[in-house]
Amino acid sequence: MGVQAVIFDWGGTLTPWHDLELADMWRAICSAHLPADDVEKAAEALAEAELELWRRGTDEHRSATLAEAFEMAGVEFTEEWLATHFETWTPHTHTDPAVPGLFTSLREQDIRIGVLSNTIWSREWHERVFARDDVLDMLDGAVYSSEIPWTKPHANAFRAAMDAVGATDPASCVFVGDRPYDDIHGAKSAGLRAVQIRHQTTHAFERPGLAPPDAVIHGLDELLPHIERWS
């Protein structure tokens, strides 16, 4: 059986990797809503809460939401905060320019396209990004960990993504991601092929004993030959 579906990670894969300080992002967000004297304390609390939720996702494979981060930090979560959060992150969420052409080529081969992202952000947040960049209508399905109980590398997360694109056989699916544990090891353990996109911080996510990728690329423009080889 050839490739029936290609499922993509989001951050660091469909959206190029950005080296950011989480606390700096939260300071910018808090500055729009709080008195100057309260910004640092709230920003530190929100950054610590988000990092703890990411740790929980990595170590326990349990999902989380942005609202949960606000609750942990003791900051009221409102639509106004959500709007500022989206605006502050916007410069770092643009879709890789190679994506529209890649998605078009996959569709021409009747290959389904999916997304599986470990994220505390909502579906609506991500769909706004994809719609802004004119690729939302090219997706056959998407799963965001904020709306399911699990995070990658849990096998159920990958099964949920397969269900979202209508795929039943993991051997017919390819997962493309940048993180060796969450993305590559997780996909391989669930029975999918896995392609790793490597960037300068990939090594930071290494750990011993991981399943190796089936292919390594350094940009999405290198993906199609591998898909065609397996089809």
- pLDDT at 202 (0 to 100): 60
Is the same domain home to 37 and 120? no
**Domain C-terminal end among 91, 118, 148:** 91
Is the same domain home to 9 and 123? yes
Question: What is the mean predicted confidence (pLDDT) over 201-210?
Answer: 70
**Residue that has been written with the tokens 């500055």 in this structure:** 31
Question: Angle, to 10 degrees, between the axis of helix 22-31 and the axis of helix 79-89?
Answer: 130
Q: Tokens standing for 105?
A: 């080529």
> What does the alpha-carbon distance between residue 4 and residue 2 come to, in Å, rounded to a whole number?
6
> What does the alpha-carbon distance between residue 45 and residue 67 come to, in Å, rounded to a whole number?
14
**How many CB atoms sit inside 10 A of residue 144's CB?**
24
Q: Give the model confidence (pLDDT) of 105-134 as tens digits.
A: 999 999 999 999 999 999 999 999 999 999
* Composition of the chain by helix, strand, coil, percent to 5: 50, 15, 35
Is the same domain home to 221 and 187? yes
Say whether pTM exceeds 0.75.
yes
Range of the domain at 126: 5-16+94-230
Is the same domain home to 29 and 135? no
Q: Is 209 in contact with 88 (CB distance < 8 Å)?
A: no
**Nearest alpha carbon to residue 197 among 48, 14, 53, 51:** 14
Peptide bond into 153 cis (omega under 30): yes
- Reply yes or no on whether the pLDDT at 34 is more than 60: yes
At 140, which CATH number? 3.40.50.1000
User: DSSP letter at 177?
Assistant: E
Handedness of CA 206, 12, 147, 102 (dihedral sign): negative
User: DSSP letter at 149?
Assistant: S
Q: Give the model confidence (pLDDT) of 120-172 as tens digits.
A: 999 999 999 999 999 999 999 999 999 999 999 999 999 999 999 999 999 99
Is the same domain home to 113 and 184? yes
Is the same domain home to 147 and 43? no
**Domain C-terminal end among 66, 91, 116:** 91
Is the same domain home to 79 and 115? no
> What does the alpha-carbon distance between residue 92 and residue 16 come to, in Å, rounded to a whole number?
8
